Structure 1
Amino acid sequence: MPPMAHLVTRRRSVAAVAAGAALGAALLGGLPATQASAADEPRSTPVPMLTPEGQVSSYLLNARTANPGQTRLVERAVERSGGVVVQSWPAIGVVVAHSRNGDFRADVAKASGRALESVGATRSVAVTEGTPTAAQAPWGPGASGYQKGAKKATNGDVGSEPTVATTSDPRESEQWDLRMIKADQAHRITDGNRNVLVGVLDSGIDPDHPDLAPNIDTRSSVNCSAAGRPDTSATGWYPTTSDHGTHVAGTIAAARNGVGIVGVAPNVRMASVKVVNDDGFIYPEYAVCGFMWAAQQGMDVTNNSYYVDPFMYYCDDQVDQHAAKEAVRRAVAWSEDRGVVSAAAAGNASTDLATNTRDTTSPDDGATVDRQLNSGCEDIPTELPGVVTVSSVQQFPAGSGQSRLSSFSNRGLGKIDVAAPGSTILSTIVAGNGYGTKSGTSMASPHVAGVLALMKSAHPERTPAQMVAALRAQADDKPCSASTAGPACVGTPEDNSYFGEGMVDALDAVR
C-alpha cells in the first residue's frame, strides 16, 4: 500500500511493491471495555514502544470529549509534563506532542485527569524532523485552524464547467485499465468538473509534469510530514525521495491536453497533501494532519495509497496503538462529516484481512515483533469506517480485457468494497517528467478516487455515504469463478472476498 507504507519494501511504503510488481503508556487505568478484545479472543502480542529519557519522542493524545475546552486542558497537561505541543486539533480533541521525558505518558495521564481518553507514542524511534514551535507558523497550541465549516477552495484560474472528451492523448490507447472500468465511455459524458477537488495524500506531486501541472491546486496543497503540522511553504508539498504520489496523481487526473496519458477524471483539480517523510514513513500524526487539512480546504475526495506506520495493524488492546488509531479515526470521521469521501488501498501482503491473526513486520521503523493479532487489530486507514477499501486486479490473459485478483492484493469478505486495476499501470513519474508502470493496490485505489471525482462532478448533491453506497451498487459483479487458483475466494458473485461488490464502474457513476 504505502505508499502504501508506508509507501512498501517493508510495505515500508507501497513503493516497494509498487515499483516492481505500547505498552508502557498510562491510560487512566486501561482501555475502555468497549475497546478491549472479545472475552473469547486472546490479547494481541504486546509491542513495547520504548521512549528513553532524553530522546525526543512523538505522542498523540485524545481528549475524552472532542471540543476546544477539553483539548486546551490536555495541552496544559502536556506542558506540565515536560512536553511541547506541536499541533492541536480542537475540532476532534487531538493533540500532537513531543517530549524528552521518558515517563511522559504516565505523567501526562496524571496531569490531565478525566480530560484525557488516551495517549500513545507514535513511533519506535526518535523524532528526526525536529520540534516546531508556535512562532514558526500559525498552527500552534490551541490554534489548529478549527472552524465549523470549510470553504470550497479554488485555484482561481479555471472555470467550473465540466468538459467532454473530444480528443485522445498519445498514450491513451495503452491504458487498458481505463477501458476495464469504462472510464473511456464515461469521458463521452464528462471529463469531470473543475469545482471538484481531490486530495492526494501521498509522497507529493511533481509540480511541473506537463500532464499534472494544469490540474494541481497549489493553494490547497500542503506538507504534513513536518511532525504532523501543516507546512504551507511554497515547495513543501513537492516530492523528494519518492515518485509514488506522482504516479497515483496521474491515474486520478492526468489532464486531457494532447500529452502522454489521461486520468480517470482528467478535468478535476488535485491537491498534493504530502504525508510521507523522506525516509518513506507515514506516521499517524501525518495522516491526521492530511485528513483534517482535506476537510478544512473543502476537498471532495481523498486517495490514500498507504498504511500508517509503524504498524501494519493497529490493535485496540495495545495502549499506544489504540491512541494512534483513535486519532486517525477521529480525523477520518470529521472529514467525512464535512463532505470528504476517501478511498484507500487494501494492502499488498496477499492477506485475508477478515481472518488474519499474525503480523511479522511491525513496528517497521525498528525491531519487528512476531505478534498474534485479534479482531481488534486493523490496517488503517483502509479498515476505518466510511473508507472505501480497494483490492487490485491484473489483466489476464494479457490483452484480453479480462482480469483476476493481483497476486499481491489483500482480500477479505466484508473488508473489500470494490476492485480496480492495479497491476502494471501506466502513469506519470518524476524522472524526465515521464511515464512508467507500477503495480500495487496503491495503483488500484486512485482509479476509485477518480471514479468518485467523476461521480461528484455529475452528482454534486451527494453526501460521502451516498457516494459510497452508489459506488458499491454500481460496481460490476465479479464472481469468485472469475479468479484463478490461489487463496480461497469466498462469498457470492455480488459480494466476495476478492472483489467486494465488484469492478468499479465509471460509466454508471456519471449517468
Structure 2
Amino acid sequence: MRLTGRCLVASAVLAVAWPTGAPVAAAAPAAGEVVDCLAVTADDPRPSTDLASAPLAAMGLDRARAWLQRSGREAGAGVTVAILSSGISRDAGLPLGDGGTSVVGPGPVVDPTGTVVAGLVAGPARSEDLPVGIAPGAELVDVRVLDRQVPTSDGEQGPSARALAEGLAHVRDRLPRADVVVVPLQVEPDDRVREVVSDLVGSGVLVVAQGGDRPADAAVPTDRLSVLAEQRPGEDAGPLVTPASVEGVVAAGPVPEEARAPLSSTALDVVAPSEGAVSTSLVGGTCSVGEVRSAWSAAYVAGVLALLRGAHPEESPAQLVARLVGTADGRPDVRSPLTGAGQVRALAALTATPGQVADDLDAVFAADTALPPPAGVATAPVAAPDPLAAAREQAVWWGLLGGGVLLLALLLRPLVRRAG
C-alpha cells in the first residue's frame, strides 16, 4: 500500500494532548511505511524508510562500493554532477555545491523531480547497509530549467527547449568544472539544444539524458512528442527525443519489464532499474520512488558515471562511456530498441581492464574478443582450406614459364632459318 505524505500525518498524537489544550503535532511516518517521493509536499512531515533500494542491489552497487573501499576511494568523491531539472530542495540535505542557477525565475521548488534525481545520484546513506544514492561523495550543482513537469497554474513553466538550452549554456559557460551533466527530461528536437550539448560533449563533459517517456499530457497538437503518447507498431522515439538523440549523449531508459509502456528507441544506450528505488523528498528524509520513469534511470546512469570518473581520473570520457556500455549485460554491438546495450553493471564497469573494452564506441569490445554473428543475420560462407593450393600455384607458374619459352621459340624460328 502506498500512502501520501498527508495520509501519514494523522495517526499518532491525539487524545492525550487534547484535554490539556496542547497543540496536536503531526507525526513523522513510520520507517517501515512506503511513502511515495512524488507525493510529499513542502508541508508534509519528513518521511523515513528502512526499505533497501532494490535497484542498487540489481546493479551490483554493494560489491562496487566494497571494491572502492578496498581501493581507498569514496564513491564519487571529487566529481561534480550538474542536474538540469525542476530544482533541488535546500531542505533535502543533499551535497549541493556552488554555481547553480534558475533560468525560470525565483521561487520555491515545488516539483520533486529534481530532488528525487539528486537523491538517486548522491543521496547520503542511511547506514552502512542502507545506501540511497550511487555516488554520495559527489558534489551536485542545481540548474533549474522548469517549475513542474506538468504545470498546474498560470505562470508555471514546464519543460521547454528554450529554457533547457539556456541551462545547458550556463553549465558550458559559467561552471568552472562539470564532470557529469544529467538531463532527466525531454524536449522536441531543437538546434540550440543540440549545439550546446555538442559543445559540452566536445569539451569532455559526460552528458546523460533520459531515453524518453510517454508524454503525460499530449493535448497540445503542435507538440511533436505527442505522437509518443500511444504505443504504435514500428515506433522509434530516437529522432524525436532531445537531448537523448544528440551524438555523444548517453541515453538511459527503464528496464522494459518495469515500465508500463516502454518506448522503442534507436537512440537508447543502456537501461537501469528504478522499481523499488529509495531517494530523497522535498523536505528531506527518505522515500520510495513509485512511478517508473526514464528520468530515474538517467539519474542512476549518471551516478555510475560519477563512480567511474572518480575511480579512473586518467581515462578519457570515451573510455568511461565504453566501460559503461561495454560491460552492460546485453550486446553492445547489437543494440536493442528497448534495452540498448543492456542493464548497467556497476562493479563490471569499475573493474573492466583496457583489454575488455575499447575507447571506440563503434567497436566496444577489443579486436581479440570473438563475438558470434547476430541471430538471423546472413553471413558469407567461409571456404574450406585447399591442401593442394600451393602445388596448384606452382603448376600455374611452371605452365606460364613453359608457354613463354614456346612462344619465344616460335618467334625466333624465322631468324634461325635465314641465318642458315
TM-score (norm 1): 0.50
Unaligned runs of 5+ in 1: 1-16, 21-169, 227-235, 315-324, 351-358, 395-403, 479-491
Do 2:49 and 2:287's aligned partners in 1 also have CA atoms closer than 8 Å?
no
Q: What is the RMSD computed on CA atoms of the aligned residues?
A: 3.6
2:243 matches 1:381: yes
Deviations 1:433-489 (A, max 9, x none): 4423232111111010000000100111333333222211011127xxxxxxxxxxx
Q: Which residue number corresponds to residue 164 of structure 2?
A: 287
Q: How do residues 423-462 of structure 1 correspond to structure 2 at under 5 angstroms?
A: 423-431=275-283, 433-439=285-291, 440-462=293-315
SS of equivalent to 1:245: helix
Deviations 1:44-64 (A, max 9, x none): xxxxxxxxxxxxxxxxxxxxx
Q: 1:349: how far off?
A: 1.9
Quick one: which of 154, 173, 195 aligns to 2:78? 195
Q: Which residue number corresponds to residue 225 of structure 1?
A: 104
2:281 matches 1:392: no
Q: 1:362: how far off?
A: 4.2
Do 2:37 and 2:112's aligned partners in 1 also have CA atoms closer than 8 Å?
no
Do 2:211 and 2:244's aligned partners in 1 also have CA atoms closer than 8 Å?
yes
Quote the Cα distance in structure 2 between the aligned partners of 1:273 and 1:184: 30
Quote the Cα distance in structure 1 between the aligned partners of 2:246 and 2:316: 18
2:96 matches 1:216: yes
Distance 1:221 1:203, change over 3 A: same
Q: Give the counterpart letter for 1:201 in structure 2.
A: L
2:316 matches 1:463: yes
Do 1:307 and 1:380's aligned partners in 2 also have CA atoms closer than 8 Å?
yes
User: Larger C-alpha radius of gyration, 1 or 2?
Assistant: 2
Deviations 1:379-437 (A, max 9, x none): 1111111111111027xxxxxxxxx252232123x321001013343211114644232
SS of equivalent to 2:66: coil
Quick one: which of 194, 199, 208 aligns to 1:334? 199
Q: Give the counterpart letter for 2:166 in structure 1.
A: C
2:62 matches 1:184: yes
Q: Which residue number corresponds to residue 52 of structure 2?
A: 174
SS of equivalent to 1:220: coil
Q: 1:248: how far off?
A: 0.7
Q: How do residues 200-279 of structure 1 correspond to structure 2 at under 5 angstroms?
A: 200-210=83-93, 212=94, 215-217=95-97, 219-226=98-105, 236=106, 240-256=109-125, 258=127, 261-277=131-147, 279=156
Q: Which residue number corresponds to residue 161 of structure 1?
A: none
Distance 1:239 1:497, change over 3 A: farther
Q: Give the counterpart letter for 2:186 in structure 1.
A: Y
Q: 1:286: how far off?
A: 1.5
Q: 1:289: how far off?
A: 2.1
Distance 1:220 1:258, change over 3 A: farther
Moved over 6 A (4+): 368-371, 373-376
Do 1:195 and 1:268's aligned partners in 2 also have CA atoms closer than 8 Å?
yes
Q: Give the counterpart letter for 1:437 in structure 2.
A: V
Quote the Cα distance in structure 1 between the aligned partners of 2:139 and 2:237: 38
Distance 1:289 1:252, change over 3 A: same
Quote the Cα distance in structure 1 between the aligned partners of 2:208 and 2:228: 29
TM-score (norm 2): 0.60
Q: How do residues 121-140 of structure 1 correspond to structure 2 at under 5 angstroms?
A: none
Q: Give the counterpart letter for 1:253 in structure 2.
A: A
Q: Give the counterpart letter for 1:410 in structure 2.
A: L
Quote the Cα distance in structure 2 between the aligned partners of 1:334 and 1:256: 34
SS of equivalent to 1:419: strand
SS of equivalent to 1:273: strand
The structure where helix makes up a greater share of residues is 2
SS of equivalent to 2:170: helix
Quote the Cα distance in structure 2 between the aligned partners of 1:510 and 1:262: 19
The size of the alignment, in residue pairs, is 287
Unaligned runs of 5+ in 2: 1-35, 40-47, 69-73, 149-155, 230-234, 352-420
Q: 1:257: how far off?
A: 5.7
SS of equivalent to 1:384: coil
Quote the Cα distance in structure 2 between the aligned partners of 1:377 and 1:206: 33
